[in-house]
Structure 1
Amino acid sequence: MPVTVSVTDKVAEIVFDHPPVNAFDTAQWAALPDLITQAGSREDVRCVLLRAEGRGFCGGVDIKEMAAHPERIVQLNRDNHRTFLAIRHCPVPVVSAIHGFAIGGGVNIAGASDVLLAAEGAYFSLPEIDRGAMGGAAFMMRMLPLHKVRAAFFTGGKVTVEEAHRLGAVEQVVPTADLARVARDYCAVIASKSRTALVLAKQALNGLEATDPNLGYRFEQGFTLEMYMHPDSQAARDAFVDGKAAAKF
């Protein structure tokens, strides 16, 4: 599993390091939920930090694997959902530090998190419409206004972290070289609090939200499966694997 977990000063740091773009295959998505749950359940942990090495935070799913094995979509959907559920229901706060890009499933990881910090020039993107898939809007709507999400989804476009910061989704935007340090310092503030208070606060804040993004994501996944069964979906994945920007329809 191209993910490392370490605990220092009551902060569990989970680092993605799977070149070139931290796009995970089905086996890797299957392993990720347990790593997050185990880290957050430790009594000596009061905050979980998700960050990454390499070109970007997370490139989502491995489209090349899906192009070669479309029959794995059900398992992939299930473990994607388990990952986002693990973040949302992690006993303690989860902070994600975004650099480069958060694409597809990476957007969902960010959207399920409690706090977002980001490096200058990074962006969020849901390119599903060009990849023969659906899904992800439920968690993007947790970060951004409805019409901003629809515009990004229909075009497969990008939302910069600077724009997300302006809209209130990202807490801080800092130079890339400073991101890991700033993220650790931010998590240290959280980790100085009572674990009991943090656990109760996380439960209360989750319960106060008007909608549950995990339920919305499961609703979206039905449309993902329907799309995967259409020949246009395979054409979109094949175009991506062949190095084309998007299939022509």
Structure 2
Amino acid sequence: MSEALVLATTTGPVRTLTLNRPAALNSFTAAMHVQLRGALDEAADDAAVRCLVITGAGRGFCAGQDLNDPEMSGDVEDVVERLYKPLALRIRSYPVPVIAMVNGVAAGAGANLALGCDLVIAARSASFIQAFSKIGLVPDCGGTWLLPRLVGRARAIGLAMTGDKLGAEEAERIGMIWRCVDDASLQDSTLALANKLAAMPVKALAQTRQIIDAAMPMDYAAALSQEAQVQGGMSRAGDFAEGVAAFLQKRAPVFKDR
């Protein structure tokens, strides 16, 4: 029986996937990619899951690619295309909100995996490192797209070129992540947010991610047209009818679309 490199736990409507190579700071191997993709697909297919949390076991979130993995002895371009690109795209097309709970160091592809999630909550002791330049590579797992959009071109280039460690408090200050919290409250804060999102119309939340990303290269008129088109589709869904009915009846809504 293969080793469990990704642990899946469920608390109500929240599924948590934990990268489970703590001795190696949860660095990626090809086998971990396979198990993570399977766990992501399984959670996406489960109608009871309304929010996903990704975290790491032990003292790290994810240290990026394990350079000792036999995969790295081959074509690196193939590794990125075959493993990291599909992972990044899966997160960005996920049917429910995705939270990265960063419990420690997030380096290289591990940092960009976190930044590709919808919301990042990090422990105060956590850090983010674009470690690629230190081994003669460039950011991957979406880093070249994510970084300038999150923090601007100057900071993106600075972080990518220097490979300097960025603490969680500074990451929050510059808008790279959603929240930095005390280490002791990380799990409770993340679960509270996950349950809050799970009780909301998650289909609309996933669509919000999609249209914000799609609007980035658009001009203003095109973005307005996109809003109208998506709004039209959402207004014909059950959650809109439930939301309006609950508002008029002065009760809490019960959203079910996904």
State the TM-score, normalized to the length of structure 2.
0.75
Does residue 5 of structure 1 match 2:12? no
Write the deviation string for residues 98-139 of structure 1: whole angstroms up to 9, x where unpaired. 122110111111121100111002111111111232223323
Q: Which moved more, 1:10-19 or 1:133-142?
A: 133-142
Structure 1 vs Structure 2: percent identity of aligned residues?
26
Give the whole-Å Cα distance in 1 for the aligned partners of 2:29 and 2:107: 14
What residue is the counterpart of 2:173 in the other structure?
166
State the TM-score, normalized to the length of structure 1.
0.77
What residue is the counterpart of 1:193 in the other structure?
200
- Larger Rg over CA atoms: 2
Residue correspondence of structure 1 range 139-154 to structure 2 within 5 A: 139-154=146-161
Residue 35 of structure 1, aligned match among 29, 39, 45 = 39
Residue 206 of structure 1, aligned match among 205, 210, 213 = 213
Q: Secondary structure at the match of 2:190?
A: helix
Q: CA deviation at 1:88?
A: 0.7
What residue is the counterpart of 1:182 in the other structure?
189
Structure 1 residues 79 and 116: CA distance shift in structure 2, 3 A: same
Relative CO higher for 1 or 2, CA cutoff 8 Å, sep ≥ 6? 1
Residue 129 of structure 1, aligned match among 105, 130, 133 = 133
Structure 1 residues 105 and 126: CA distance shift in structure 2, 3 A: same
Residue correspondence of structure 1 range 87-102 to structure 2 within 5 A: 87-102=91-106
The one-letter code of the counterpart of 1:44 is A
Q: CA deviation at 1:69?
A: 4.5
Does residue 108 of structure 1 match 2:112? yes
| Kept after mapping to 2: 8 A contact 1:92/1:202 | no
Superposition RMSD in Å: 2.0
Write the deviation string for residues 131-168 of structure 1: whole angstroms up to 9, x where unpaired. 23222332333432221121121112112211111112
Q: Secondary structure at the match of 1:143?
A: helix
Does residue 16 of structure 1 match 2:19? yes
The one-letter code of the counterpart of 1:168 is G
Q: CA deviation at 1:90?
A: 0.6
Q: What is the aligned length?
A: 210
The one-letter code of the counterpart of 1:47 is C
For structure 1, list consecutive stretches of 5 or more residues without a partner in the other structure: 212-249
Give the whole-Å Cα distance in 1 for the aligned partners of 2:147 and 2:163: 13
